[in-house]
Structure 1
Amino acid sequence: MKEKTIDYVLRATWIAIAKMYNEEAGKEGSTMATGFALLSIDPEEGTPSTSLGPKMGMEATSLSRTLRTMEDKGLIKRKKNPVDGRSVLIYLTDFGKEMRDYSKKVVLTFDQAVRNEIPQEDLDKFIEVASKIMDLIATRKIYNES
């Protein structure tokens, strides 16, 4: 193809970002998925395990594997939910909170670097366009099965 499709630009950009995040996380013996999970867990109240998958856009199998690895590394602990004994709450350990702070710093450093190079007006337009694309997908306006 002579011209790059929107899909290609989005995918290639996300792959580059994911690679960059994995390289940074690797410096601390972690992964992007672990960092994302750390940022998705409430550091004070914990988070129900059932809400993490949808929050992170991960399938249950991948999430279970990530949580198991995080537990093995001492980043999280699981406790029964006192309100609903059938569910489990995920809490960060002290080490998990430290790594959460590291993950947050990595994300904010990337965010600031982009903001330093791209005018706010362009970023606003990018966010608007990305939101419209997500809306097209969410409302099934692209592949309408009639």
Structure 2
Amino acid sequence: MADDEFVAYVDARMGWLQRVAYLLCHDWHRADDLVQTAVTRLYLHWRRAEASGNLDGYARTVLVRVYLAEQRGSWWRRVRPVEDVPDAARRPDDPDMAVDLREALKALPARQRAVVVLRFYCDLSVEQTAEALGCTGGTVKSHTARGLAALRRSLEGTRT
């Protein structure tokens, strides 16, 4: 059954999808919403996703596109009245650096953040990232360069 395969896939990859969504939006509740929307869209196109030969890539692309579409939405959808502290799955080696890195990543514009997360957290190539975002390799490279430069500037101020 296709539904059984879908459920098995989502059960196996839910944690990964949530971590990618969190890195994109920096809010666990919003990440859950993004994943829910992405999983729903994945279900609607499950046969096409299976036929793609790369379920993780297809799911990741859907998730990133849901995130970027939400970023283009109305401002009131992005306003958070309360800042929630994220639940950590494990303790990083340097907790202060992890917090600084998350804050620096959070400050990046949405497309730069998406590129940095896909390239360095999801370990995608330039071409794979371009395909996921629906842009050219040159755009990925320029967003990567600008994003990394901004992260370096931000993190240099925290190491003093």
Question: TM-score normalised to the size of structure 2?
Answer: 0.28
Name the larger-Rg structure.
1
Q: Which has the higher contact order (CA 8 A, sep 6+)?
A: 2
Which is richer in helix? 2
Which is richer in strand? 1
Question: TM-score normalised to the size of structure 1?
Answer: 0.30
